[in-house]
Amino acid sequence: MFSSFDFVKLNAILRDFYNLTGIRITVFDDACREITSYPAQVAPVCRYIRGSAAAASACHACDREACGRALALRAPYVYRCHAGLTEAVTPVFRGDLVVAYVAFGHLFCYPSRAEGRAAILLSCRAYGLDEAALAALVDALPDTEETYILSAAHVLEALANYLCMDRMIMLRQQALQVQIDEYISGHFTEDINADSLCRRFNIGRTALYEFARQNYGMGIARHVRQLRIEHAKQLLAARPELNISEIADACGFSDYNYFITVFSRTVGMSPRKYRVREGRAAPEGTENRA
Q: How many domains does the chain have?
A: 2
How far apart CA 53 and CA 49 sit, in angstroms, is: 9
Q: Say whether both 71 and 47 belong to one domain.
A: yes
Same domain, residue pair 180 and 57: no
8 A C-beta contact, residue 139 and residue 113: yes
Whether residues 100 and 206 share a domain: the answer is no
Same domain, 59 and 98: yes
Q: Is residue 69 part of a domain?
A: yes
CA–CA dist 90, 93 (Å, integer): 10
Would you list the DSSP string of the chain? --EEE-HHHHHHHHHHHHHHH---EEEEETTS-EEEEESSSPPHHHHHHTTSHHHHHHHHHHHHHHHHHHHHHTS-EEEE-TTS-EEEEEEEEETTEEEEEEEEEEEB--SSHHHHHHHHHHHTGGGT--HHHHHHHHHTSPB--HHHHHHHHHHHHHHHHHHHHTTSEEE-TT-HHHHHHHHHHHHTTSS--HHHHHHHHT--HHHHHHHHHHHHSS-HHHHHHHHHHHHHHHHHHH-TTS-HHHHHHHTT-S-HHHHHHHHHHHHSS-HHHHHHHTT-PPPTTTTT--
Separation between Cα atoms, residue 67 and residue 77, nearest integer Å:
8
Domain boundary residue, one of 171, 191, 222: 171
Residues 124 and 236 in one domain: no
pLDDT of residue 166: 64
CATH number of domain containing 75: 3.30.450
Q: Do 103 and 147 fall within a single domain? A: yes
Closest CA to 290 of 244, 238, 241: 244
Same domain, residue pair 114 and 164: yes
Q: Cα 135 to the chain's mean position, in Å?
A: 33
Is residue 240 in a domain?
yes
Assign residue 191 the CATH number of its domain.
Answer: 1.10.10.60
Domain boundary (147, 171, 195) is at 171
- Residues 50 and 126 occupy one common structural domain: yes
The phi and psi torsions of 202 (rounded to 5 degrees) equal: 55, 50
Please check whether residue 76 lies inside any domain of the structure. Answer: yes
93 shares its domain with 235:
no
* Integer Cα distance of 53 and 10 in angstroms: 30
CB distance 108 to 86 below 8 Å: yes
Q: Is residue 288 part of a domain?
A: no
User: What pLDDT was estimated at residue 168?
Assistant: 66
Structural domain for 146, as ranges? 3-171
- Inside any domain, residue 60: yes
- Whether residue 286 is contained in a domain is answered as no
Each residue's pLDDT expressed in tens, for the chain with a length of 290 residues: 455 677 888 889 999 999 999 999 999 988 888 989 999 999 999 999 999 999 999 999 999 999 999 998 989 999 999 999 999 999 988 777 788 899 999 999 999 999 999 999 999 999 999 999 999 999 999 999 999 999 999 999 998 888 876 666 665 545 777 888 889 999 999 999 999 999 888 888 888 998 898 888 889 999 999 999 999 999 999 999 999 999 999 999 999 999 999 999 999 999 999 999 887 554 444 444 33
Would you say residue 283 lies in a domain? no
The pLDDT score that the predictor gives to residue 204 is 86
260 and 210 both lie in a single domain: yes
Evaluate whether residue 290 is within a structural domain: no
Q: Same domain for 152 and 20? A: yes
Cα separation, 184 vs 211, whole angstroms:
13
156 & 190 share domain: no
Question: Which of 151, 171, 191 delimits the end of a domain?
Answer: 171
Q: Does this model's pTM top 0.85?
A: no
